[in-house]
A = this chain, B = another copy of it.
Amino acid sequence: MKEPEEKLDWKSRLHEIIYEADTKMGRAFDIILLVVILLSIALVMLESIADLNQAYYMEFYIAEWIITGVFTIEYVLRIITIKQPKRYIFSFYGIVDLLSTLPSYIAIVSGGHNMLFAVRALRLLRIFRILKITRYIGESDKLIRALKNSRPKILVFLFAVVIISVIMGSVMFLVEGPENGFTSIPVAIYWCIVTLTTVGFGDIHPVTPLGQFIASFIMIMGYGIIAVPTGIVSAEFTKNKTIPTNTQACPFCNETKHLDGAEFCHNCGNKMNGK
């Protein structure tokens, strides 16, 4: 609205639209991009269904090229409008953007279809761009902060889960053996993780009485330790909630965060009631 902004050249204005989300045009660009990304993901999903791919091969082929075209234009515009193109090109999103447009062009030269498909799935990484947009929506910030605070504790916990899995997996391999599906220690560890996390596919399961007894022990242990990460995150969320309850501000120095019932300001020493 201010005068200096009026004088912006087309590059700066395009930059504002493409990289920012606080103008009407910028928001519209983000939403259109979001729709195209979702469409491209839906396309990859539908193409993976063998029957549909055979029936609508041509339609998928055309849609694929339209989306590739849109992504190419977006990529070029992002490079043109930014002042330091290298910072964008070698950033996470820059590489993802390149990887989600390049495969289609390579496919023409090489002619390989399966490889094309595999690399095109990289386009899914663009979902993170959607996440970037949703960050503006609101609550996710609190969630991410609480998770970040809990991260060291949760990592130690997950490390403990892995060690328990390695030990109990080896024990189960010795007890059940290859004849009951526990073909090797890595497979037994896989089974142990399946069990500890209470997923329980059932593709491998103990058959001998001793194996079933140890499995029962592992399951009850898993049931008991599921409480740990939950407790960590609960405490983190509870802490966030209970901190800012006192809204008093000192009439002299404007300091806040006073304890309930404080009669003097802990910052300047004057009376809280201003007398």
- A31-71 Cβ-contact flags toward B at 8 Å (1 or 0): 00000000001001100111000000000000000000000
- A213-233 Cβ-contact flags toward B at 8 Å (1 or 0): 101100110111011111111
With A195-B199, A220-B158, A240-B235 as known contacts, state yes or no: A50 contacts B125, CB within 8 Å.
no
Alpha-carbon distance A190/B263, docked complex (angstroms): 57
State whether B146 touches A44 (Cβ < 8 A): no
Residue count of chain A within 8 Å CB distance of chain B: 105
| Stretch among A14-22, A80-88, A131-139 lining the B interface | A131-139
- A245-275 Cβ-contact flags toward B at 8 Å (1 or 0): 0000000000001111111111111111000
The A contact surface, by secondary structure, is helix
State whether B156 touches A140 (Cβ < 8 A): yes
- What residues of B have a CB within 8 angstroms of the CB of A139 in the complex? 152-153, 155-156
- Confirm or deny: A113 has a beta carbon within 8 angstroms of a beta carbon on chain B: no
State whether A261 touches B260 (Cβ < 8 A): yes
- Confirm or deny: A75 has a beta carbon within 8 angstroms of a beta carbon on chain B: no
With A163-B131, A266-B265 as known contacts, state yes or no: A219 contacts B234, CB within 8 Å.
no
- What residues of B have a CB within 8 angstroms of the CB of A231 in the complex? 146, 227, 230, 232-237
A203 contact from B44, B160, B167, B205, Cβ within 8 A: B205
- Confirm or deny: A25 has a beta carbon within 8 angstroms of a beta carbon on chain B: no
CB-nearest residue of chain B to A175: B118
Tell me how far the C-beta of A171 lies from the nearest C-beta in chain B, rounded to whole angstroms: 8
State whether B201 touches A163 (Cβ < 8 A): no
A226 contact from B152, B226, B262, Cβ within 8 A: B226
With A158-B220, A223-B161, A263-B269 as known contacts, state yes or no: A127 contacts B166, CB within 8 Å.
yes
- Confirm or deny: A184 has a beta carbon within 8 angstroms of a beta carbon on chain B: yes
- What residues of B have a CB within 8 angstroms of the CB of A216 in the complex? 189-190, 193-194
CB-nearest residue of chain B to A137: B156
CB-nearest residue of chain B to A151: B139
State whether A173 touches B267 (Cβ < 8 A): no
- A183-209 Cβ-contact flags toward B at 8 Å (1 or 0): 111111110011111111111010001
- What residues of B have a CB within 8 angstroms of the CB of A203 in the complex? 202, 205
State whether B257 touches A267 (Cβ < 8 A): no
Alpha-carbon distance A232/B201, docked complex (angstroms): 28
What is A's interface to B at a CB cutoff of 8 Å? 41, 44-45, 48-50, 118, 121, 124-125, 127, 130-131, 134, 137-140, 142-143, 146-147, 150, 152-163, 166-167, 170-171, 173-174, 178, 183-190, 193-203, 205, 209, 212-213, 215-216, 219-220, 222-224, 226-242, 257-272
